[in-house]
Chain A
Amino acid sequence: MNLSITTQIAKTHLLSKKRQTLVAMLGVTFGIAMFITMISFMQGVNQFLEDSALDASPHVRMYNEVNTQRPALIDQLNRSDSAFNVIYHQKPKEQLSRLKNGFLIARRIEQEPGVLGVSPQLSTQAFYNNGPIQISGTIAGVDIDRENRLYNLKSRLKSGTIEALRSNPNGLIMGNVLARKLNVREGDKVSVTTPTGGTMILRVVGTFGFGIGTVDNTKSYANLSTVQEILQKDASYVTDIHIKMFDPLLALPLGKKLRAMYGYYTEDWATANSAILAGEKIRNVMTFVVSMTLLVVAGFGIYNIMNMNVINKIKDIAILKATGFEGKDIVLIFLLQAVFIGVLGGLLGLLIGFILSYLLSITPFNAGDFLSIKTFPVIFDPKYYGMGLLFGLITTVLAGYFPSRKASKVDPVSILRG
């Protein structure tokens, strides 16, 4: 194969029609630049949403589901096909949502491989009163050091300290949006009422913000013993065990295993956040569809230009064949042009794509209280740049190959005879 001579011919063809070459190149450049920008932005959004959702939720949560449905005794005893039982107004039995031996289970889970931390806690609905204002939310009684290990609470604190909660039995660390609604700040007192009627006045010793509306709006942390006291429960009463893993993916099998071992319900992060994960999948598909469309359009641009090129050069092709160039040389001549256009246009596209995503990543964006971001989330991952270049190359090679093959099939006799 005469690579150097075909390269030389391809080069001459490209340089003799600079404007046409440039237009073909810009098609690829635009396609790839948009591909890079879109995928970097979309993946950035996905990553951000996933991170914020995962950060604030446990990898596995173990709890006791309160199930009020139970079969009537008479149905169990007197079951027959010929008769039926009628029961009016059956009241549900009182059930506690406690985990029996919660602390023991927590200690055991801590010894499982891959577990980062375990936090047994007591979670209940509550009303927060500050004067006449009454807002409903939840209160979680926790061992604050364990909880900090799981959710890195220290870095989420907007005011106050974790130590303040540890040293103050009646302390409360409140979600920052909730605190704003109640118009309380560090040092103020809030009255907490539980559904069972217990009331206690607690002092706000800090506020936190996860950047997720549903948490910051409703949740407060107090000491485990304090919440047990409000609910008038004993010191071993816990309702939830939160577990964080080193590898989130290991949470799924662990959840199943724990459920089988202890008989309590377990919920892993994937189930808990299935809406976010589904949204992520849809966004991924969308990104790829749009990007592929852009690349295919660019590909058709190249195809058209290469086709015109072949038609314009049909005499030259005939003469090259007459002087001894083989079909594969002709294919190579035109394919090289397409590859050159693809590579150069692609590299330029990567650069422009990078610049666009950078500009996007410094564009201010106010998401309000719900999301803790100040600019658009953008991911700069070399993987996407490699993918962009690869896709660009594949489209140009395909778009260049068909006209090239047509060129190689030119019958010199019919052209040369005129």
Chain B
Amino acid sequence: MEKVLKASHFNKYFTEPDRFQVLKDVTFEVNKGEFLAIVGKSGCGKSTLLYLLSTMDTEYEGTLEINGQTLTGRSQDYLSKFRNEHLGFVFQFHFLLPEFTTLQNVMLPALKLGRYSEKEVEHRAYEKLKMIGMEDHARKLSSKLSGGQQQRVAIARALINDPTIVMGDEPTGNLDKTNTGIVFDIFREIAQENHQTIIAVTHDPDFAAGCDRVIEMSDGMIISSHENQI
């Protein structure tokens, strides 16, 4: 199995208000096309771990390798470009840009990447919206959508540049049962069919149960890692 992400010996400290070790020697690897869930109680460090993996938080000890590239110690601009090209994000509180239409929200990261012309980007964005069943809302302002719809659009945005890894911080945390189901099915589909890797931090036991593998954390350490039999 091909490894897309290697995290070795992560140590992370919070210095405010007191020095406190959030992550203790966390080491793990993720396979290509794997649907991984990180679970654990609040405060166990799972979100902190995710933001380290996302390259947005750069203050840590240890080394991070994604797609064979070492990302530890790189400049902010380099990491921005890397995120743009290789990583997609879905957050708990959807976070679309409210002044833009659904379609524009999805297009933005691709326009930034500049790999395709604007016409092609628009076409691809439509494809992604079709995949999540939101093509009818393409021209609506994103602030006019419901929470579940916004979360689906956020997934489409995360996928627009065909990233290697899609990361989710409680992607279903704010959604009802139906929408949770829809979001989960979309993740499942991209992992299986596009062989894109999903790493999701979740509280939801049902969500975790449907993943390929679950990493459980407690007090900043990985206490178990088991594969689900589906």
Contact = CB atoms under 8 A, between A and B. Distances in A.
A5 B97 CA distance: 14
A316 interface: yes
Contact of A326 (B77, B89, B169): B77
B188 to A, nearest CB: 23
Interface residues of B, number: 32
A44 interface: no
Nearest to A13: B99
A257 to B, nearest CB: 66
B95 A319 contact: yes
B112 A417 contact: no
Contacts of A8: 111
A315 interface: yes
A324 B54 contact: no
A324 B109 contact: yes
Interface string A304-336: 000000000001101111111111110000000
B227 to A, nearest CB: 29
A324 B169 contact: no
Interface in A1-47: 2, 4-5, 8-9, 12-13, 15-16
B99 A416 contact: no
Q: Report whether over half of chain A's contact residues are helix, strand or loop; otherwise say mixed.
A: helix
A382 interface: no
B102 to A, nearest CB: 14
B92 A418 contact: yes
A303 B99 CA distance: 22
A286 interface: no
A413 interface: yes
Interface string B158-170: 0000000000010
Contact of A322 (B56, B82, B92, B96): B56
Contact of B83 (A4, A322, A327, A417): A322
A16 B99 contact: yes
Contacts, number: 73
B184 interface: no
A412 interface: yes
Query: Which size bracket describes the interface of A in this complex?
Result: 20 to 34
Contact of B56 (A5, A9, A16, A413): A413
Contact of B169 (A5, A315, A329, A416): A416
A11 to B, nearest CB: 10
A273 B158 CA distance: 75
A323 B57 contact: no
Nearest to B94: A319
Interface string B63-107: 000000000000011001111110001011101111110001000
B161 to A, nearest CB: 8
A319, A323, A412: which has the most chain B beta carbons within 10 Å?
A323
Interface string B176-203: 0000000000000000000000000000
A16 B97 CA distance: 12
Contacts of B98: 316
Contact of A418 (B83, B84, B93, B114): B93
B51 interface: yes
B6 interface: no
A5, A319, A324: which has the most chain B beta carbons within 10 Å?
A324
A324 B114 contact: no
Contacts of B51: 413, 416-417
B77 A325 contact: no
A13 B104 CA distance: 13
Contacts of B131: none
B168 to A, nearest CB: 12
Contact of A325 (B54, B80, B85, B95): B80
B81 A323 contact: no
A315 B57 contact: no
B80 A5 contact: no
A378 B114 CA distance: 53
B54 A2 contact: no
Interface in A386-418: 412-413, 416-418
A412 B84 CA distance: 14
B52 to A, nearest CB: 9
Contacts of A4: 111
A324 B85 contact: yes
A323 B161 CA distance: 10
Nearest to A317: B97
Contacts of A2: 111-112, 114
Nearest to A323: B109
Interface of B: 47, 51, 54, 56-57, 76-77, 80-85, 89, 91-93, 95-100, 104, 108-109, 111-114, 157, 169
Given A5-B112, A324-B80, 14 more contacts: A2-B114, A5-B108, A316-B97, A323-B84, A323-B89, A323-B109, A324-B83, A324-B85, A325-B80, A326-B76, A329-B112, A416-B91, A416-B95, A417-B51
7 nearest A-B residue pairs (beta carbon): A324-B84, A16-B99, A326-B80, A323-B109, A5-B111, A324-B83, A319-B95
22 contacts: A2-B112, A5-B111, A9-B108, A13-B99, A15-B99, A16-B99, A318-B95, A319-B96, A320-B108, A323-B89, A323-B108, A323-B112, A324-B82, A324-B84, A324-B85, A324-B113, A325-B84, A325-B112, A327-B77, A327-B80, A413-B57, A416-B56
